Structures are given as structure tokens and as C-alpha cells.
């Protein structure tokens, strides 16, 4: 059943769509449909011969997408790594909004938030894969520590991992989001003003259990193949780990690539031209505090119509 009780405010809505659309008659990809904010605005500006293909691994998001009755629109119940299925140079623009949607956070049943009691799940697609609770039941202390440190950039990762394993040995793993948050709060000695002690740990577990960073890298690489020359890549990220990957990917492909094994060979030409970054305005942050950490990066695909990225 769709989460109709929870609403979502799309971040950088107009800015992202303006950056994306190069021709009203093109084929575009909304690689992270969410609740359809970007998709609906794209469709409102798309030519009758245009096309929009959306992807999302969350079945509730896909259900919302199926409610869009527009012959130019289709949605696939797949993660955004599957944009590679679209074929070489088949689209004029790819939009990736990497933020978790408000309905996912606000619905306690999804287990993403430490602010309300829910099952310790955090899967984007609850029908597949392993929940956080199931993983914590089998992971060793070192693995838990590394996930919290690497994906949450949490300096108290060792203390938190130890507390989780001790709790598991004595009483079993935490059963709910609030139980985990309370456990973390005891292990975290200090925290930045205004930030809950569990913030970084919950971020780490969500990123890890959904393979978010690995899938982001794969989707970015796929964009090289599917974008036509002149097409745009637009990515909105919400934390430093994501933004670093996007920034480095665009930078890498915005310069000629030399093969050190063949120093006299012709360098591979630039694949992208960086078009800079945009952050939400102060007005948007005031209206929607969840937008405050967002960064949008835009790049334009270079190359000839005959080129196919290898």
C-alpha cells in the first residue's frame, strides 16, 4: 500500500529540471523516482514526442509511479544501476536524486528513523536482501566497527560496535530503531550541537545495507554509456561520501585520460564537461530544512555520435 500519509518536498526541483532538459523532445531518465517530484515537473515541460523513464527499487515509490497516467512515462522496479539496460547513447539526460525520501524516513514501519519506534530494517526494497537487524545478528565486532566508521564517519565507531556486540551476547540485538538509538547514545560521549548521537550510525547502516555507494559508482559509469553527446548528468547528493564520489567521477572524466602502460598512445578524450555545482537557496532551506546539506552537480556529455564508452 502506498504511504499516502506522508508527504515529500523535492529538493532543488526547478534547478535540477532546468539543468537536465536540453530538448523538450528528448528521452530522459529519472534514475531515482522517489515520490515523483522531479518526474512530474519534467513531464509538464516535455514535448508530446518526448519520453521519461523512471527507476526506483522501493515498491511504494513504484506504486506512486504507476499512478501517473501519461503515455510518455514508464517506471521500472529496479535500482538505478539498471539504467545500463537502456543501451548506448539512448538518452539526453540522467537525473539522480540520492536523498532518502521523507515518506521513507517518516514512516516508522520502514525502520529508517531513530526518532520513532519501528523495526530495525532500513532496506529500500523490503522484499529483497537483508535487514539491518538480520545483519547485526551475524556480523562480528570488527565488521560492525568498519561499517560505522567508513559509512558514517563516526569517531566512536569502536565503542558503538562493542556496545552492540555486548548487548547481543547478553540480551540479543536491538529489536527496534529506538532501542538501537538508545544504545548508541550511551556509547557516543560527545556530539555536534543539534545532531542526535545516532545520526551517523543510522546513516552508516542504511548506506551499507543498501549498497548505496557501490550502486552510485556503477550508475555513474553507466551514464557514460547511455548519454548522447550534449546530454546532461544531474546528481543531487546529501552527504560528503556521496558528493565526493560524484565530484571525483566528474573530475576524472573532465580531462584527457592517459594510459601509463602505453605512454605514446593517443589519450582518451574528455567524456564530460563539468557545469559546476548548485546548493539550495536560503529560502529553500528555511522552507525545507532537510535540503540544507544538498549539493547538485551537473556535467555535459562530450564526444561524437559514433563514440561508445568502452
Asked whether residue 179 falls in the same domain as residue 156, the answer is yes
Q: Is residue 115 situated within a structural domain?
A: no
Residue 132: CATH number of its domain: 1.10.150.170
Q: Model pTM greater than 0.85? A: yes
Asked whether residue 94 falls in the same domain as residue 153, the answer is no
- The mean pLDDT of 67-71, rounded to a whole number, is 96
Q: Which value, to the nearest 10 degrees, does the dihedral of the CA atoms of residues 11, 14, 17, 20 take? A: -100
Asked whether residue 193 falls in the same domain as residue 267, the answer is no
Asked whether residue 19 falls in the same domain as residue 91, the answer is yes
Q: What is the model's pLDDT at position 115?
A: 86
pLDDT in tens, 179-232: 999 999 999 987 777 788 999 999 999 999 999 999 999 999 999 999 999 999
Residue 75: CATH number of its domain: 3.40.50.150
DSSP string, the chain: ---TT---PPTTHHHHHHHH-S-TTSEEEES--TTSHHHHHHHHHS-TT-EEEEE-S-HHHHHHHHT---TTEEEESS-GGGGGGG-TT-EEEEEEE-SPPHHHHH-GGG---SSS--BS---SSTTSS--HHHHHHH--HHHHHHHHHHHH--TTHHHHHHHHHHHHHHH-S--BHHHHHHHHHHH-----TT--TTHHHHHHHHHHHTTHHHHHHHHHHHHHHHEEEEEEEEEEE-SHHHHHHHHHHHHHTTS-B--TTSTTSPPBPP-EEEEEEE---HHHHHH-GGGTT-EEEEEEE-S-TT----
Up-side HSE of residue 256: CA atoms within 13 Å toward CB?
Answer: 8
pLDDT in tens, 229-262: 999 999 999 999 999 999 999 999 998 655 566 5
What percent of the chain has pLDDT above 90? 77
Asked whether residue 218 falls in the same domain as residue 297, the answer is yes
Asked whether residue 97 falls in the same domain as residue 232, the answer is yes
Asked whether residue 228 falls in the same domain as residue 188, the answer is no
Q: Among 52-56, 64-68, 102-106, where is mean pLDDT lowest?
A: 102-106
Q: What is the model's pLDDT at position 106?
A: 77
Q: Is residue 235 situated within a structural domain?
A: yes
pLDDT in tens, 291-301: 999 999 999 99
Domain C-terminal end among 183, 209, 235: 209
- Among the listed residues 7, 71, 15, the one whose alpha carbon sits nearest the alpha carbon of residue 36: 7
Q: Pick 184 or 23 by higher pLDDT.
A: 184
Range of the domain at 197: 125-209
- The neighbouring-strand residues paired with 274 are 299
Q: Pick 265 or 94 by higher pLDDT.
A: 94
Q: Is residue 51 situated within a structural domain?
A: yes
Asked whether residue 196 falls in the same domain as residue 257, the answer is no
- Among the listed residues 172, 63, 188, 194, the one whose alpha carbon sits nearest the alpha carbon of residue 120: 172
- Among the listed residues 174, 182, 179, the one whose alpha carbon sits nearest the alpha carbon of residue 134: 174
**Residue 159 banded pLDDT, cuts 50, 70, 90:** very high
Asked whether residue 50 falls in the same domain as residue 168, the answer is no
Asked whether residue 94 falls in the same domain as residue 222, the answer is yes
Q: Is residue 184 situated within a structural domain?
A: yes
Q: What angle do CA 137, 188, 147 make, to 5 degrees?
A: 45
- The CA distance from 65 to 160, in Å, is 39
Q: Pick 196 or 19 by higher pLDDT.
A: 19
Q: What is the model's pLDDT at position 45?
A: 96
Checking if the pLDDT of 310 tops 50, the result is no
**Residue 22 banded pLDDT, cuts 50, 70, 90:** confident
Number of domains the chain is built from: 2
Q: Is residue 4 situated within a structural domain?
A: no
- Among the listed residues 288, 246, 243, 299, the one whose alpha carbon sits nearest the alpha carbon of residue 11: 288
Domain C-terminal end among 178, 209, 240: 209
Q: What is the model's pLDDT at position 112?
A: 87
For the chain, the average pLDDT equals: 90
Checking if the pLDDT of 5 tops 80, the result is no
Q: What is the model's pLDDT at position 111?
A: 84
Q: What is the model's pLDDT at position 2?
A: 44
Checking if the pLDDT of 102 tops 90, the result is no
Q: Is residue 120 situated within a structural domain?
A: no
Q: Pick 303 or 20 by higher pLDDT.
A: 20
Asked whether residue 71 falls in the same domain as residue 135, the answer is no
Asked whether residue 94 falls in the same domain as residue 221, the answer is yes
- The mean pLDDT of 1-28, rounded to a whole number, is 81
- The CA distance from 208 to 122, in Å, is 10
Q: What angle do CA 247, 249, 255 make, to 5 degrees?
A: 100
Q: Is residue 108 situated within a structural domain?
A: no
Q: Is residue 156 situated within a structural domain?
A: yes
Domain C-terminal end among 209, 229, 260: 209
Amino acid at each position: 500500500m502506498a504511504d499516502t500519509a506522508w508527504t515529500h518536498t523535492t529538493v532543488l526541483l526547478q534547478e535540477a529540471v532546468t539543468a537536465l532538459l536540453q530538448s523538450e523532445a528528448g528521452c530522459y531518465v529519472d534514475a531515482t523516482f522517489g515520490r515523483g517530484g522531479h518526474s512530474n515537473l519534467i513531464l509538464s515541460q516535455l514535448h508530446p514526442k518526448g519520453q521519461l523513464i523512471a527507476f526506483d527499487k522501493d515498491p511504494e515509490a513504484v506504486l506512486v509511479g504507476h499512478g501517473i497516467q501519461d503515455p510518455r512515462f514508464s517506471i521500472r522496479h529496479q535500482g538505478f544501476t539498471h539504467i545500463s539496460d537502456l543501451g548506448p547513447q539512448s538518452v539526453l539526460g540522467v537525473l539522480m536524486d540520492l536523498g532518502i525520501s521523507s515518506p521513507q524516513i517518516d514512516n516508522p514501519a520502514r525502520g529508517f528513523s531513530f526518532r520513532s519506534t519501528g523495526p530495525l530494517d532500513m532496506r529500500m526494497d523490503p522484499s529483497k536482501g537483508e535487514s539491518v537487524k538480520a545483519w547485526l545478528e551475524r556480523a562480528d565486532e570488527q565488521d560492525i566497527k568498519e561499517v560505522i566508521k567508513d559509512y558514517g564517519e563516526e569517531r566512536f565507531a569502536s565503542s558503538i560496535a562493542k556496545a552492540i556486540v555486548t548487548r547481543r551476547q547478553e540480551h540479543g540485538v536491538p529489536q527496534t530503531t529506538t532501542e538501537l538509538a538508545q544504545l548508541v547514545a550511551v556509547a557516543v560521549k560527545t556530539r555536534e550541537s543539534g545532531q542526535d548521537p545516532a545520526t551517523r550510525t543510522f546513516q552508516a547502516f542504511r548506506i551499507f545495507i543498501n549498497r548505496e555507494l557501490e550502486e552510485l559508482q556503477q550508475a555513474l559509469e553507466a551514464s557514460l554509456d547511455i548519454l548522447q553527446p550534449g546530454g546532461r548528468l544531474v546528481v543531487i547528493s546529501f552527504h560528503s561520501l556521496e558528493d565526493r564520489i560524484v565530484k571525483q567521477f566528474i573530475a576524472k572524466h573532465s580531462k584527457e585520460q592517459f594510459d601509463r602502460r602505453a605512454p605514446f598512445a593517443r589519450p582518451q578524450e574528455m567524456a564530460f564537461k563539468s557545469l559546476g555545482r548548485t546548493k539550495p537557496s536560503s529560502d529553500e532551506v528555511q522552507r525545507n530544512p532537510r535540503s540544507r546539506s544538498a549539493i547538485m552537480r551537473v556535467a555535459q556529455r562530450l564526444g561524437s555520435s559514433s563514440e561508445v564508452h568502452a
